[in-house]
Structure 1
């Protein structure tokens, strides 16, 4: 068993500072650190007396050794211990960046681990860009279903793509909506950048919301946020990995056209609320996010 102290002592004894920094970002944080971050607020259009505890998880990128089966089970246990009303999975289950992994984990295996998540209102998921990009069959067909969505649905987890479902807690109804991924297909590479085509259909998704109850939106990439209408109480996103490297509150590189604007945390713009988060980078360790809507956060 390698302890944290032994792990760091070995690194210091054998690696230079630059290598230590890289190893810390790619090994120590994903393998050993796990934060729980709480937010509590009442968003617009949320009905008085309606309390809802959400646990949000994003960007697992399941692979060995970084996000292995034991690590995934630890995150599931942490999420369940928070006693959420509902659990939302915000995409990017499939691993990318082959140079940093020793082996992929089969979708049936990681989906089976996620099936142990527990919440009275269920476990709900959307796909991220890597759930398309790392699926050769889906990319070749330019169509689903993906390996990720098939595994999740077989595990009893509903996957949303431009879809919405009306839910209710203690007589208070709300809509949960999930947007198709905005970067699903890579059409070509030009000047070192991917030209992508999404599967998102914001208008089509909202056409399925047939009453005026509040809406919670899942969208893997936060770049959709400026286009989200006022009727959405809360948008939850992943993808930015907290900016990937975050030092002194600043992320020099953020995979978003808006840079720092939606990199991390609870963002409020024009009375609209966005939660953006992700794991496994320097200064942004893996994270379980719990959001208490309509009340103060309990001391969980």
Structure 2
């Protein structure tokens, strides 16, 4: 796969899957006010490098431009292999427009390499990385905090500063579903994760053949989940390919989630 030639052939043969948009509406509990619905775009697991054809990223950035989200959230694993592979994402991320900003957490593949270089590439594209901290979104969503926690196994996750001082409405970004094990008693309304690729290679109907190691990765492999005593978690199949340049029955996706106030 040196140089990504096999990935380009795979893409031309349709073996990267078909990129599409998956939509979710998430309603806040009663009494929570939003001046208008919050439109969130979430993309994860790019794996820029020898296993993912760059043409797939062009399609993704075109989709983001078409969807016009309020905020763009990125779930990590920007690269496979060397950190400089993140440069394949730089121009496209810089072109993405999101009035409330562009934010990211890091994934295990990022932390296995020179994550400082990846952060520099992201910062140059206007993307702010959140590591165990939160921030308040801009007007008119000052009641919403975006909470980013470090990767559960490769990073140094710490729920206390991740949620410290967060506003009433909380969006949690975690690279892997396993991050749920580390949130403790902290509450969220929406959690966004990737990492699993939906198996990347799955049986017809989407049942994964292989999933990453991790105690929650099979249970929360893909889709929408109501987390007991907490909010909703969305686990994305992600964008790129890891290990092998093939996706079967696990199409790449851009997740568009609309956060809604409770109906009167």
What whole-Å deviation, never above 9, does each CA across 1:57-92 have from its counterpart, x for those lacking one? 000111257331x32122111012111111101100
d(CA) in 1 for partners of 2:127, 2:73: 10
d(CA) in 2 for partners of 1:295, 1:35: 26
* TM-score for both structures, normalised by structure 1: 0.72
Gaps of 5+ in 2: 1-6, 239-245
Q: How far off is 1:254 after superposition?
A: 1.6
* Partner residue, 1:232: 188
* Partner residue, 1:142: none
Give 4+ residue runs of structure 1 displaced > 4 Å after superposition.
Answer: 22-32
d(CA) in 1 for partners of 2:181, 2:51: 37
Matched, 1:175 2:145: yes
* Pair 244,203 (structure 1): closer, same or farther in 2 beyond 3 Å: same
Matched, 1:293 2:263: no
* Partner residue, 2:201: 245
d(CA) in 2 for partners of 1:147, 1:156: 14
Matched, 1:206 2:133: no
Aligned counterpart for 1:35 among listed residues 13, 20, 32: 20
More helix by share: 1
* Pair 221,115 (structure 1): closer, same or farther in 2 beyond 3 Å: same
Over aligned residues, Cα RMSD in angstroms? 2.9
d(CA) in 2 for partners of 1:230, 1:162: 13
Q: How far off is 1:202 after superposition?
A: 1.2
Aligned counterpart for 1:155 among listed residues 125, 140, 145: 125
d(CA) in 2 for partners of 1:106, 1:272: 35
Contact 2:196 2:221 in 1 (8 A): yes
Matched, 1:82 2:67: yes
* TM-score for both structures, normalised by structure 2: 0.81
Counterpart secondary structure, 1:175 = strand
d(CA) in 2 for partners of 1:288, 1:73: 13
d(CA) in 1 for partners of 2:261, 2:56: 31
Aligned counterpart for 1:282 among listed residues 216, 233, 248: 248
Aligned residues: 244
* Pair 85,224 (structure 1): closer, same or farther in 2 beyond 3 Å: same
Contact 2:48 2:88 in 1 (8 A): no
Work out which of the two has the higher radius of gyration on C-alpha atoms and give 1 or 2: 1
d(CA) in 1 for partners of 2:101, 2:31: 20
Matched, 1:133 2:120: no
More strand by share: 1
d(CA) in 2 for partners of 1:60, 1:146: 17
* Pair 171,164 (structure 1): closer, same or farther in 2 beyond 3 Å: closer
